[in-house]
Structure 1
Amino acid sequence: MTISRRKFLKGTAAAGALAASPFYINSALAQSRELRIYAWAGYITNEMLDDFRAKTGINATFTPYGTNDELLNSLRATDGSGFDIIMPTVDRVPGYLDFDLIQPLDESRINWDGALESAITGSEVGGVVGGKRYFAPSDWGTEAIAYNTEWTNINRDTLSYGDLWKPEHADGVTVRGHSALAGIGLWLEKQGKLPYPFLESYKNETAMRANFDVILKVATEHKHMIAQFWDTENEAQGAFRANGAIIGQTWDSTAFNLIQEGEPIAYAAPVEGAMAWMEGFVMPKNAQNVDAVYEFINWYYTPEAGAMFVKATGYNSTSRGADALLPPETKAFFQNSYTQRDLDNLWWWPIQEPWYVALRNEYQDRYLSA
């Protein structure tokens, strides 16, 4: 992707003052109907729903999903109906347009002063298509290496995705199928073992298939080391709690939540770069309560709402000023997990077009069934 990553991260530290009141729609129509939110499991808490209702007078319901594919398939099954607001990752937004499932946002109705400018600019790749914005950024996070500090011997200075597959981690690795293939791809590329540059192959199906052939061979050779594959947040945490995992390629939230429970877990970025993603608010084409969608986005773009989100998830909010309201343990996790080198070296997921998702799923299925 062509976003300036350093500019994005610098922007997250440059939060300024909010406008006095972001809630300026508050129409009777919005209050007369429920806002139907479809978002990642754990992203919307009762505390957040109560605060949103108190600030706007609007009742909202929350339905969780566990994966981007689950979200897309649900919307395809209903032709973009059933919900008023969804939260895909920005790299998947063009795919929703290919299936005619979403509608552009009216940027004049959003209080952009409440969002980090760097996130707004950074989300233009994927979030703005054909000159129209479909995506209002909400949060960002990473997928890297979580490990048990008592049962592993990790050198954070040289940590690699390849370290997952060291013999001493046998029977103790947890990964997500398709992103494990990406991690192995980054590892092999750094060794000069891929036929095509990995990032560029996201634009060319022939090149990606050739790369995946090499990646799948290596992945299959090490599959015996897997304690558990994960697909959702709960599964990733369960791999460490109950199924013998001592190291894994997981989301940052997995490590954050385990640490809060007192587990001896740490989280670190490998030398190939932590896989970074951005999520945001998108409106399905058949949303019924459009006014309430803008109320919700503007409510979220306040320091208090952004801080509630971070408290619930461990991810990083794009709400301006939220970082100042975070509890000490959340700030400590970020500081302990990322050096400045890590932040400068993030590997952002490229746009994942439908052809790539189909190909990725094909190789993931071959990996899981090998």
Structure 2
Amino acid sequence: MNVNSALAAVAVALGLGLASPAFAQDKKLRLITWADYVPADVVAQFKKETGIDVEITLSNNEEMISKLRATGGAGFDLAQPSQDRITGPQQEFGLYKPMDLTKVKTELFIPAMLDATKRNTTLAGKVYGLPHIWGTDGLVVNTKAAKIIDYPDLCKPEFKGKTAVRLKRPTLLAFAFAAGKNPFALYNDPKAYAALMDDVGKKLAACKGNLKFFWDNKDQLLNGMRAGEVVGAMMWDTGGWKLNNDNPDIQFIAPRSGAMGWIDTFALPAKGRNDAAAYAWINFNMRPEIAAKVAGSAGNFTASKGAEQFMDKKLKAQFAASFPEAALKNVRWYPAVPAGIEDIEGRVLDRVKAAN
């Protein structure tokens, strides 16, 4: 085959979509993310504008880390871990690659939130995460059936069998703050941190008789609250506001010791094959009108500058009711989790689970 014939063959292959896998990959973004962060209309508009398909895998922090560990950071082009779950796993396992901020429209982000997330996801001078959706964990209470103002109130005898928490690290941290301790201040002292977690674990084990269940999916908890089987729970804010839409007696309350604040990010897996599509998705999602659609689907708020202009008025009113200025200032934002901390917590949670 002469040169002209070879070039003609390549041109035909490209026209028929028979090009190399690398070319085909340009038209697909493999995204691992949380439920409700990828509304169908947003995906459709992205494809219309860019020609890129979005292959979605729904997950959570633990599963994202597990999947990326298993593949050495391959299998996905973009991930959405919480900002406190980036530098620790990066140090231990090298799951991510640094962000090229020249490819990000940083003017689309709320400056203070962008700066804070960059600080919390920087390792050896390189940024590994950008903010997307944020929210809090606090208390959801049926105010007609119970008066609960802080996490330990879930363990009061009068609420026996009628409360719920997750058997996860946020519960340990929340109960530590409610006991007047600052667990984040002990992150660099594993021995002291382990002692604090042991104390919290004992209190949670003693509280098990009060718990209707350790909830592990949102429908289980939402249905329990709706049915009146659960009168109070540690729960995320958007779930509380969703319940409030149906029953005004059920309210999301910022606990006296502080709600637990989280930020879910954009991060690039170490062996992602399509960074261009990932950056296109980030910039598209941070446009205010698009960010408002995603925030509306998730029921939370976004790091997109100006998105509040497009957001649901009732959600904004619910946020204002749950977070007067003092409560907002008292949010306990998760810092980066150092290596080894989650192993300590995991052992405590296992003991709580096994306790009678």
TM (norm. structure 2) is 0.88
Q: Does the aligned pair in 1 maintain the 2:118–2:128 contact within 8 Å?
A: no
- Aligned pair in 2 of structure 1 residues 44, 262: CA closer, same or farther (>3 Å)? farther
Q: 1:250-309 deviations in whole A, cap 9, x for unaligned?
A: 111211222334474200111211100111100101111111001000001111111011
Q: Does the aligned pair in 2 maintain the 1:30–1:292 contact within 8 Å?
A: no
Q: 2:126 aligns with which of 132, 143, 146?
A: 132
Instruction: Give the structure 2 partner of residue 368 of structure 1.
Output: 353
Comparing 349-358 and 272-281, the one that deviates more: 349-358
Matches within 5 A, 1:87-166: 87-97=80-90, 98-154=92-148, 159-166=149-156
Q: Structure 1 counterpart of 2:110, which letter?
A: L
Q: 1:186 aligns with which of 161, 177, 189?
A: 177
Q: Structure 2 counterpart of 1:101, which letter?
A: L
Matched, 1:228 2:219: no
Q: Does the aligned pair in 2 maintain the 1:38–1:83 contact within 8 Å?
A: yes
Matched, 1:42 2:36: yes
Q: Structure 1 counterpart of 2:87, which letter?
A: P
Instruction: Give the structure 1 partner of residue 314 of structure 2.
Output: 329
Q: Structure 1 counterpart of 2:251, which letter?
A: A
Question: 1:60 & 1:263 partners in 2: Cα distance?
Answer: 38
1:242 CA displacement: 5.2
Q: 1:95-150 deviations in whole A, cap 9, x for unaligned?
A: 23120111011100000011110111111332111111111110211000011133
Q: Structure 1 counterpart of 2:68, which letter?
A: L
Q: 1:17-66 deviations in whole A, cap 9, x for unaligned?
A: xxxxxxxxxxx96984211111012221112211212232211121101x
Return 5+ residue gaps in structure 1 as ranges. Answer: 1-27, 191-196
Instruction: Give the structure 1 partner of residue 12 of structure 2.
Output: none
Q: Does the aligned pair in 2 maintain the 1:228–1:239 contact within 8 Å?
A: no
Report the 3-state secondary structure (helix = DSSP H, G, I; strand = E; otherwise coil) of the residue aligned with 1:53: helix
Report the 3-state secondary structure (helix = DSSP H, G, I; strand = E; otherwise coil) of the residue aligned with 1:137: strand
1:240 CA displacement: 2.0
Q: Structure 1 counterpart of 2:340, which letter?
A: W
1:153 CA displacement: 2.9
Q: Does the aligned pair in 2 maintain the 1:52–1:58 contact within 8 Å?
A: yes
Q: Structure 2 counterpart of 1:113, which letter?
A: E
Q: Structure 2 counterpart of 1:184, which letter?
A: F
Matches within 5 A, 1:306-345: 306-345=291-330
Q: 2:225 aligns with which of 228, 232, 240?
A: 240
> Percent identity at matched positions?
29
Q: Which has the larger radius of gyration?
A: 2
Instruction: Give the structure 1 partner of residue 67 of structure 2.
Output: 74
Q: Does the aligned pair in 2 maintain the 1:90–1:279 contact within 8 Å?
A: yes
Q: Does the aligned pair in 1 maintain the 2:25–2:273 contact within 8 Å?
A: no
Question: 2:110 & 2:184 partners in 1: Cα distance?
Answer: 27
- Aligned pair in 2 of structure 1 residues 239, 125: CA closer, same or farther (>3 Å)? farther
- Aligned pair in 2 of structure 1 residues 68, 242: CA closer, same or farther (>3 Å)? farther
Report the 3-state secondary structure (helix = DSSP H, G, I; strand = E; otherwise coil) of the residue aligned with 2:319: helix
Return 5+ residue gaps in structure 2 as ranges. Answer: 1-21
Q: 2:77 aligns with which of 72, 75, 84?
A: 84
Instruction: Give the structure 1 partner of residue 3 of structure 2.
Output: none
Q: Does the aligned pair in 1 maintain the 2:287–2:304 contact within 8 Å?
A: yes
Q: Structure 2 counterpart of 1:173, which letter?
A: T
TM (norm. structure 1) is 0.85
Q: Does the aligned pair in 2 maintain the 1:31–1:58 contact within 8 Å?
A: no
Q: Does the aligned pair in 2 maintain the 1:30–1:58 contact within 8 Å?
A: no
Residues paired across the two proteins, number: 332
